[in-house]
Structure 1
Amino acid sequence: MKKIILFVILLIPILKIDALESYVVMDTKSSRILSSKNMDEKMLIASTTKIMTSLVALENASTTDVLCAGKEVLSVYGSMIYLDIGECMTLYDLLVGLNLRSGNDAAMVIATETIGYDNFIKEMNILANKLGMTSTNFKNPHGLDNETENISTAHDLALLMRYATTNKTFMEITKLKKYMLTSNIEAHIWYNKNELLRSYKFLTGGKIGYTEKAGYMFVSSATKAGENLIVVTMKEKDRFNTHKKLYEEYFKEYDSYKILNKKTFNVKSEYYKSYHLYINEDVEVMLKKDERDKIKIDIDIIKKKKVKDKEVIGKAIVYVDNKYVTEANIFIISKHQKEHSLKSKLFFWKK
């Protein structure tokens, strides 16, 4: 009897980057764009709006502030945490509901009851401008687009998420998988809609979004072996698998290198002979192995007749393969002041 052997071929879906409508992979530390497509194309952003809503709230109010829902909750629909009028929670609780359940009612309460709705929207756009989000405009705190529309790009959203990763409270909230609380009216149990938190251990947070007009949105961050990436996809339905595959690919292809060390940085200036020039932070950039010899650093010093200690007097600009990547401010301090500071530290250590 002949044996018939059947070979079963498993069709594993392969990520086709060219098929993505708009995306960005960004090195968090340097903001270098490692890969992108249509990253400056303006689109509706749905509930990824709530990253900005969270940051403006955290920068303008205390997480222990108690906010009570008013009639503003009646003006929204879609994803909700189902607040009753008169229901009260801390700002922290509302931010959890905003991020885990994408509560549009939570967004309205936060914006209305912290600094006032109109001021809140104004602050969202002020912060966007501060972060260099030049193609972004916020009209509401939730991302619904039936009456007003929030517009941004994949690049701008990556810049926003980069800033968000510096806020410990936001990052603590956005990676929660489950949260329970009891308000003055009822108990709530919320589970995070970000499914990637349960399937990719290196994910540190993010925000999903969807409306019929905007499509499927996802902004996320991940850390692996001390390296940090941000991924943004717009109008991508298979968003969780796509983000995971992009992280796996770019963590594998790139490594983080310290380009400038704040402890050893030294620039001698004939113009500022009696001063010491320094940077106050290391500069790290993710590179492919064959890019290590393509680094170029330009030192741009501004000549001033009068300077103050710790004043910015220039920039150290980093290029990879003649393309701008990042920069660091160069500060100035008198050599006498530096020596005095060093002696003070040595005296302290001696004691």
Structure 2
Amino acid sequence: MASDLVPSSGYSIATGTYYSKRDPITLPPPHRHLDLTTYVFSHQHNTETAFIDAQSGAQLSYRTLRHNVRALATGLQRLGIRKRDVVLVILPNTIDVPCIYLAIVSIGAIITTANPLNTEAEIRKQVADSNPVLAFAAPELAHKARAAQLPVILTQKTSPIANDSEYVATLNELFQSNVDDFRSIDIQQEDTATLLYSSGTTGKNKGVVSTHRNHIAMVTGFIQRSDPEKDIALCIVPLFHVYGFFYAVSAIAKGSTLILMAKFEFAQMLANVERYRMNTLAIAPPIFVALTKSPLVAKYDLSSLKRISCGGASLGKESIDELIALFPDMEISQVTQFQSLYV
């Protein structure tokens, strides 16, 4: 690190680089062979519930999560998925999505995600660019993957998907795989873990390569610099976005209970905060602003909230000041993911 840092900003005149003023985080040695899934599960905690579906109330325990990740990874190996194969995920926020992510990267395969709202043409374009060999899709989205001529794993088998030739397996079938058949894969931290696509705000959307070490570094920073109190958190940012991906895997490593909403609705979000007595909220800037403007906020008991994490874009100082005026003791953090930064 440069020695000529401007104390107020961390800017180095000599290198033209901004350095963090925080103490450096402690990362695993770069030469150590380590995958993201193993690292996430290496953190010990005594939390029982990992995920809750806000709409149905369905829950997934940490014990079941660990089993399902290993069983699904075994099932993917049985289907012929190998290290460096790309797997497409087209799913809304569900409690199974983080399990799918961790299973894919645990066998050295690479995740690419697509917005469920993308058209068939947009999916075909991403498939042509990222070259996946398989797709996970909800039944109502499976036609988008099949239009790109991909074999599909359905998250559930429901009508009108009745033809067995239209999919290779269901998620529940793969969860029944014998975990004793799992074959360990040698994965280095510099191996690619994800190929997530930008939104295309300033041009065509682009796939961004991130390594296991990239994600390990982000998870480590989250754990080492966050409040040690266990979170009961609501995540309404989409899990196909890098912010949602990061937040979900970090929550697992920290031992949080994460409540997921498949479809965002502002009043329902407030009701869920009240119902589950959440202390942490992960949101995007438009929702942050809505918390300062909407009269609905006063109709719900949000007193359990202690922390708000906002990512996806920068917040204006005015919006932050307005929220602090409403919630004086609120801890507000802004999250930025540098996906292509090698640590």
Between Structure 1 and Structure 2, the one with more strand by share is 1
Q: TM-score, normalised by structure 2?
A: 0.22
Computing the radius of gyration from Cα coordinates, the structure with the larger value is 1
